[in-house]
Chains A and B, each alone.
Chain A
């Protein structure tokens, strides 16, 4: 009974769905406020979702029908499965030693399906967008993984819950590894294909990237998968870098966790407003010439500190 509740309601599917909608709204609203606008009302993500669900589902000629309907489901399922292992305010559906590796692996499944869906939907823009998404994947993923491996190395465990517990004994990962936190945030922006790094779906260049040819239910599922990925990614970073809530000792865990997650989301929205989109070659340069060496440096420094 408890496990079913956790799986379906909290911190499982329903909770994730509503946080995805909430995060989407907060994100759009914050961006709007930065542009001196009012922004959409709170029900906007729900309206968009329902409208897309009820729209006609067009498939272009030549596209692979089975793959087109399976790929968004695969992305969504991978994100939901990853969410099972990411604790929310200390509560996770499941956990084992090494769940961080599993979560990182599952979170890269949407990137692959995103590329594949561009490939099978034969449109020119889709294929270019798919190729770009793969190039982007190779640029951000290495620094991202190294930045997330550093807290694990520091606390000597691959279990997210134990990393949080380790921060409880020492202090926030953010304070111990500020560089790693910045790298992880940049990597997360790349992973979520959010604004400064939305190269695969740049509107003025490749229309909507791999999703150009999709409408209706499939598009709704893709949007949902992306928004849930935002939520899970942010929750993961909160756990790894600001996991300890001893500082707010007298407050209940859950609201504190939510506030931290919203703070990270606002950081992401600010980045989206402040920076213009990079070109794909600039991103590759940034990833391999700056971020990856920095991540390596940080990792080696961490190992050195452990050795002391």
Chain B
């Protein structure tokens, strides 16, 4: 009886998997976190969210709360002060979740690398799925990166 139920469940899961994957690809809700950048990249991200670029076409919504978000967008180098907070925000997000590092700083530390208070890029702290370099990167680059990430899901 249990075996029958289990096989039924796995079969159901196989059926629903494509639908679920499609849904995830079509509705990434993002959470934006500045871990210590100069604000340049943050402004580019806000640009990306303006009506001119209209990312709601791709189903992207900006959420204010880690629990609702699927994609954590980090800008700036990780400083020693924000390291634990970044980690905690990541842990508060519900699975499945992705991390995108936007800007040279969050990719490698950028011009801040080697500073006494800087840990380095986001990759030092979290598993990053996508790096978008640029200082600051253009909204087009961010949209292109997000589209590539969606293709990966």
Contact = CB atoms under 8 A, between A and B. Distances in A.
A208 B64 CA distance: 7
A135 interface: no
Interface residues of B, number: 23
Contacts of A54: 16, 20, 23-24
A28 B56 contact: yes
The majority secondary structure among interface residues of chain A is loop
B59 A213 contact: no
A203 interface: yes
B57 interface: yes
Contacts of B42: none
B82 interface: no
A37 B19 contact: no
Interface string B88-111: 000010111000000000000000
A46 B20 CA distance: 11
B59 A214 contact: no
A135 B32 CA distance: 31
A214 B67 contact: yes
Contacts of A44: 26-27, 59
Interface residues of A, number: 33
Given A35-B51, A50-B20, A219-B68, A40 B96 contact: no
Given A44-B59, A54-B20, A56-B94, A32 B65 contact: no
Contacts of A203: 64
Scoring B20, B68, B95 by chain A CB atoms within 10 A of each residue's CB, the highest score goes to B68
A250 B27 CA distance: 42
A39 interface: yes
A125 B24 CA distance: 27
A285 interface: no
B94 A216 contact: yes
Contact of B57 (A38, A46, A51, A204): A38
A48 B22 CA distance: 10
Interface string A9-42: 0000000000000000000100010011111110
B56 A215 contact: no
Contacts of A40: 56-57, 59
A47 B27 contact: yes
A248 interface: no
Contacts of B57: 37-41
Nearest to A50: B23
Given A44-B27, A55-B95, A58-B67, A37 B54 contact: yes
Contacts of B94: 55-58, 215-216
A207 interface: yes
A275 interface: no
A43 interface: yes
A212 interface: yes
Contacts of A43: 26
Contacts of A56: 94-96
Interface in B14-57: 16, 19-20, 22-24, 26-27, 51, 54, 56-57
A47 B54 contact: no
Contacts of A28: 56
A134 to B, nearest CB: 21
Scoring A40, A44, A125, A204 by chain B CB atoms within 10 A of each residue's CB, the highest score goes to A40
Given A54-B23, A57-B94, A204-B64, 15 more contacts: A39-B57, A40-B57, A40-B59, A41-B57, A47-B27, A54-B20, A55-B94, A55-B95, A55-B96, A58-B94, A208-B63, A208-B65, A208-B68, A215-B94, A219-B67
23 contacts: A38-B54, A39-B54, A44-B27, A47-B22, A47-B23, A47-B27, A47-B59, A48-B23, A48-B27, A50-B19, A50-B23, A51-B24, A54-B16, A54-B23, A55-B94, A56-B95, A58-B92, A58-B94, A125-B65, A208-B63, A208-B64, A214-B67, A219-B67
Interface of A: 28, 32, 35-41, 43-44, 46-51, 54-58, 125, 203-204, 207-208, 212-216, 219
